[in-house]
Amino acid sequence: IFITIGSISGTAKEFVDRVREEGKKVGAIKITVLRPFPSKEILPLIKNAKIVATLERNISMGYGGAVYADLAGALINEEKKPKLIDFILGLGGRDVTFKDMGEILDICEKAMAGEKVERPVWIGVKKELIE
Enumerate the domain spans of the chain: 2-130
DSSP-based three-state secondary structure for 37? coil
Q: pLDDT tens for residues 39-98?
A: 999 999 999 999 999 999 998 776 789 999 999 999 999 999 999 999 999 998 899 999
DSSP 3-state assignment of 8?
Answer: helix
> Is the pTM higher than 0.75?
yes
Q: Residue 102, CB half-sphere, CA atoms under 13 Å: how many?
A: 5
Q: Which CATH number fits domain 2-130: 3.40.50.1100, 3.10.180.10, 3.40.50.300, 3.40.50.920?
A: 3.40.50.920
Torsion angle of the four alpha carbons 9, 15, 21, 25, in this order, in degrees rounded to the nearest 10:
-70
Is pLDDT above 70 for 131? no
Mean pLDDT of the chain: 94
- Report the Cα–Cα distance between both ends of the chain, in Å, rounded: 28
CA-based R_g, the chain, Å = 14
